[in-house]
Amino acid sequence: MFGAVVLALLGLNWLGQPSGSWRHILSLGFLVLSIPVGVILACVAHRFSIVEGLAGDVGYEDLDAKQDDKPPA
């Protein structure tokens, strides 16, 4: 999501320029581009999760198995 915010802020940078100038058109392009970039980054955010990277699946193997309330003998 940080990438989408950066693009949106870049788009707001030259939005006050006269309409039709290259800076104004570039600002509009950044603003419009920030929406699909935000959606794409939100869809792939789970791949870059630091929690999943650090923890992984170590120690969670037994969660899928049936657990008894009885302590081991």
Closest CA to 7 of 29, 40, 39: 29
pLDDT of residue 60: 55
DSSP state of 28: H
Q: In terms of pLDDT, which residue wins out, 17 or 64?
A: 17
Give residue-wise pLDDT tens across range 22-69.
999 999 999 999 999 989 988 887 776 666 555 555 555 555 555 566
The pLDDT of 10-33, averaged and rounded, is 88
Domain ranges of the chain: 2-48
pTM attached to this predicted model:
0.58
CA 73 to CA 58: how far, in whole Å?
25
CA 11 to CA 34: how far, in whole Å?
9
